């Protein structure tokens, strides 16, 4: 399975522009309460605070976050097939750090990446290992590898910092307006309805933009994953399995089909749209006998020789090896 270069480039450009626009929107929404509190100085201080928070978060070791999540380090001798796949994925993604895979005993079907191309790790749950075959797991791991390659954890941390600061500043503006209320009642001024509306809506708008950014990064990770593996159908089939297991709660709440507005509250795009985009980008090779990007073993599921327990609280101070 190969990718049409022009189509790949256009989708990359579109996703990149969407990311820039969403981040600009988050900064603009943040500047509203900052400006109302302290004018231009408030805007500058707000953006500076976000930059400092993002920089400090980059110093938090990824292994500390994964250890606190209850995940244990899965070593090479415990999952040789998965590490063989990860070695190829890291090499194709241009990551120079050694792969580190973490195991979570959760029955949920989930995998997530923490960190970036300098310091990162990937966690995978026991439920996912028992449900997906090796081809599907390779596609999911490629998706998470791209999150490390693009530093999506850091990007989302910055977006989350903007949203939290927007909420705090909006609260401060509302408190200031309440303190001015006696003066307004006695005729010393008018109630600024437009100001109240802007302040009340700013946290909600910021949250929706943050969710939109998350969905954008998921689309991008899907695209780059199949660029690494050359296997859109592997990732598409994995997404179908995940939707059957993880999407059932929406059906329980809303019946056979969830309402359209629920998509605005998703951190991940609707599965059918992700699958359609994957299959639209890929095309079959024009000649037979093409060697696959990643040669998988004949087994359906990877063999896990030993499942590790959670790491101790002092694991984060250890040197990577």
Q: Which residues are catalytic?
A: 144
Residue 95 Rama label (left phi>0; alpha psi -120 to 50; beta): beta
Strands in 15-141 per DSSP E: 72-74, 101-104, 111-115, 120-125
Measured CA to CA, the distance from residue 263 to residue 310 in angstroms comes to 34
- Give the burial string for 205-227 (b: 16+ CB within 10 Å, else e): bbbbbbbbbbbbbbbbbbbbbbb
For residues 136 and 236, what is the distance between their CA atoms, to the nearest angstrom?
A: 8
The CA distance from 293 to 252, in Å, is 40
């Amino acid at each position: 399975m190969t990718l049409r270069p022009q189509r790949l480039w256009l989708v990359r450009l579109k996703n990149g522009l969407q990311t820039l626009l969403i981040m600009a929107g988050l900064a603009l929404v943040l500047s509203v309460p900052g400006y109302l509190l302290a004018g231009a100085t408030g805007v500058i201080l707000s953006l500076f605070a976000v930059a400092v928070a993002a920089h400090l978060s980059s110093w938090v070791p990824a292994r500390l976050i994964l250890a606190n999540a209850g995940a244990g380090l899965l070593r090479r001798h415990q999952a040789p097939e998965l590490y063989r796949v990860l070695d190829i994925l890291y090499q194709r993604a241009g990551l120079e750090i050694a792969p580190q895979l973490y195991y979570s005993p959760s029955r949920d079907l989930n995998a997530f990446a923490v960190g970036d191309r300098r310091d990162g790790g990937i966690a995978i749950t026991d439920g996912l290992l028992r449900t997906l075959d090796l081809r599907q797991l390779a596609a999911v791991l490629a998706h998470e590898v791209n999150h490390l390659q693009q530093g999506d954890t850091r990007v989302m941390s910055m977006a989350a910092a903007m949203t939290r600061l927007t909420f705090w500043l909006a609260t401060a503006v509302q408190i200031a307006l309440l303190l001015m209320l006696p003066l307004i009642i006695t005729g010393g001024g008018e109630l600024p309805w437009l100001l109240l509306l802007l302040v009340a809506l700013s946290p909600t708008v910021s949250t929706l933009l943050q969710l939109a950014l998350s969905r954008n990064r998921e689309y991008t990770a899907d695209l780059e994953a199949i660029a690494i593996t050359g296997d859109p159908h592997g990732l598409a089939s994995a997404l179908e399995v995940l939707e059957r297991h993880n999407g059932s709660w929406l059906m329980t709440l809303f019946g056979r089909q969830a309402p359209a507005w629920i998509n605005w509250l998703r951190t991940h795009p609707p599965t059918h749209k992700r699958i359609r985009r994957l299959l639209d980008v890929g095309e079959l090779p024009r000649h037979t006998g093409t060697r696959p990007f990643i040669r998988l073993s004949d087994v359906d599921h990877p063999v896990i020789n030993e499942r590790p327990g959670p790491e101790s609280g002092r694991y984060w101070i250890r040197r990577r090896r």
